[in-house]
Amino acid sequence: SGRKPDLVLHLGDLSHATGYSAKWDLFLDQMTLISARVPYMTSLGNHEQDVGRPPSWPPRPGTVPHARRENDSGGECAIPTYTRFPMPVESDQASGWHHFSQGPVAFVIINSEWNVSVGSRQHSFLRRALGSVDRSVTPWVVVGYHRPIYNVLGHADSMLGRDDVQDLLREFEVDFMLYGHVHNAQRTCPIYRGK
């Protein structure tokens, strides 16, 4: 088509491998033509990162209270994702939250599988990241994460701390939000706390 993207932003559910390495191999083979040419930035979704863990699984570094009690990654615990796609995180790759700029756009990526409520480490990160954007250099701010705040499935499938996130998005005048998770295209007018 002649399009030349500057980057790819893949917001979770990368390969849907759920513990099967052959699915990772297939996915990586398919996306190499793109990722060899431009930055391939990711976030963690429910199919990368188990949230509720069976008691028989060993603990992993960086574990904090999560929003969900599902086991959608087949035991991967995000390790194949952050090993293949290390992101510029503040502390540990398991958290998944990070920020970067590309041209006139500042991207802030959070982890919708983890708690983003006021008082959480991730909420503090989000406030710092949004507050650090120099709008004279990067006038556009995009926040991305896996689970949408609002979707056709209702609120039951949203993140823990949804209203707290919305307060920060409004306070820092975020221009655009991108999501994954729901397997259809949705767009909305500006929404704040359901209105």
Question: Against a cut of 0.95, is the pTM above it?
Answer: no
For range 53-74, the mean pLDDT: 55
Nearest residue to 99 (alpha-carbon basis) of 145, 64, 63? 145
Is 9 within 8 Å of 102 (Cβ atoms)? no
Higher pLDDT: 55 or 88? It is 88
Place of tokens 């007018």: 189
70: pLDDT strictly greater than 90:
no
pLDDT digits 0-9 by tens, 88-102: 998 888 889 999 999
Give pLDDT, residue 109.
97
67: pLDDT strictly greater than 80:
no
pLDDT digits 0-9 by tens, 92-132: 888 899 999 999 999 999 998 888 899 999 999 999 999 99
12: pLDDT strictly greater than 70:
yes
Q: Are strands 98-102 and 105-109 parallel, antiparallel or unpaired?
A: antiparallel
Q: Tell me the residue type at 102.
A: Q
Give pLDDT, residue 69.
59
Give pLDDT, residue 87.
95
Give pLDDT, residue 155.
54
For residues 85 and 64, give the distance between their C-alpha atoms in angstroms, rounded to a whole number: 21
